Amino acid sequence: MIDARAQVEQTLTAVLNRARNGNCPPRLAAAMDHAVFPGGARIRPQLCLAVGGACNADNPRVALAAAAAIELLHCASLVHDDLPCFDNAPLRRGQPSLHAAYGERLALLAGDTLIVLAFQALAESITESPARAAELFEIISRGAAVPAGLAAGQAWECEPRAGLRDYQRAKTGALFVAATMAGACAAGSAAEPWRELGERLGEACQVATEVRQGPPSAEKLKHLVGLAVDAIPACPMAAELRLLILLEARQYMPTVHSRRVA
């Protein structure tokens, strides 16, 4: 996925450079940069592009706009999750979290700004394909917000009685579902059949982050990835997408690596 990753970085850089153009408050500009770069694995935007590719997307600009929007929403949510009122996390990806580095006020504002920039980036798709753009806004808004998106997932933490399943599905799964469905929609394919793949990969990602706890999680991860690839709808490049997901998932499997080390 080297090309996809490079395309994602390029698009995110362009979005941020454009936003900081002119008389932008310099510390806010720096805080936004800190929130988005160098970034993590960029799984969600690459997944969006991979699904778009598997559906033979005729216009890569639409999928790229969607991919960038999803990653910016993800970055914004990490910044706000790290704030003292939620996780109060001093570190993120081995660096000081945004509020640790720039203070709580700029972390709040940078997160807000990244949400706006996500939709500003997505709006690039309107001139390319209005019909797909309208559906993309719906898919990605629902992934980010309510009733069952990312913000809803966080909000379940604030309910006296919340189902763990509702919480995890919304918090981790929603942007994965947005990524697969947006990828298909950007390619002009029906989005709904791609929901299950997103849900499965969201679950798998949840388990992948726990995988260092030991072999049972690794087994569970394998099982979930198997379910995920089985959920790939019929599309021109289904076999390639299947292979891509399996290869990507292998990076999170501790088996090979730990045997070599141990």
Cβ 202 to a copy of itself shortest distance, Å: 16
92: which strand partners? Answer: 95
Which C-beta is closer to a copy of itself: that of 100 or that of 237?
100
Cα–Cα distance between 229 and 225 in angstroms, integer? 6
- Smallest CA-to-CA distance from 121 within 136, 110, 100 is with 136
Cβ 131 to a copy of itself shortest distance, Å: 8
Six-digit token string for 183: 């990828």
Which C-beta is closer to a copy of itself: that of 156 or that of 176?
156
Cβ 74 to a copy of itself shortest distance, Å: 13
Which C-beta is closer to a copy of itself: that of 100 or that of 126?
126
CA atoms 123, 124, 128, 132: torsion sign? negative
Helices (H) and strands (E) in the chain, counts: 15, 2
Measured at the alpha carbon of residue 105, what is the angle toward residues 103 and 106, in degrees to the nearest 5?
Answer: 75
Which C-beta is closer to a copy of itself: that of 59 or that of 120?
120
Residues that bind a copy of itself (CB under 8 A): 19-29, 32, 76-77, 80, 83, 85-86, 102-106, 108-109, 111-113, 115-117, 119-120, 123, 126-127, 130-131, 133-134, 137-138, 141, 144-149, 151-152, 154-159, 162, 166
Cβ 137 to a copy of itself shortest distance, Å: 4
**CB-based contact 19:32 (threshold 8 Å):** yes
Cβ 56 to a copy of itself shortest distance, Å: 24
Maximum separation of any 2 CA atoms in the chain, in Å: 54
